[in-house]
Amino acid sequence: MVKVEFLGPIQKEALELEIDNLNEVAAILQKDDAMKEWLDNCAVAVNDTLVTSLECALKDGDKISLLPPVCGG
């Protein structure tokens, strides 16, 4: 089981999923209309390390974080 958390302004409760890679997370979140707008713009971290490939393998206990773009000064 992996935990998916949504940071910043994404107003969504964390999910716990039985999945094997990030492609599966993307497929699940594409079905959520509220998440579609975020998916193209978010960075993704697995266990607090940014990843660039949706082929990233996951194992039990991993934490996935969706990090929306932010602005600041």
Domains, the chain: 2-67 (3.10.20.30)
Give the mean model confidence (pLDDT) for residues 62-70. Answer: 92
* Element (DSSP H or E) covering residue 24: helix 22-30
Using CA atoms, how far apart are residues 62 and 33, in angstroms rounded to an integer? 25
Using CA atoms, how far apart are residues 73 and 63, in angstroms rounded to an integer? 29
pLDDT attached to residue 37: 82
Cβ 62 vs Cβ 4: under 8 Å: no
Task: Name 63's bridge partners.
Answer: 3
Q: Compute the mean pLDDT over every residue in the chain, rounded to the nearest whole number.
A: 91
Give the mean model confidence (pLDDT) for residues 4-32. Answer: 93
What pTM value is reported for the model?
0.88
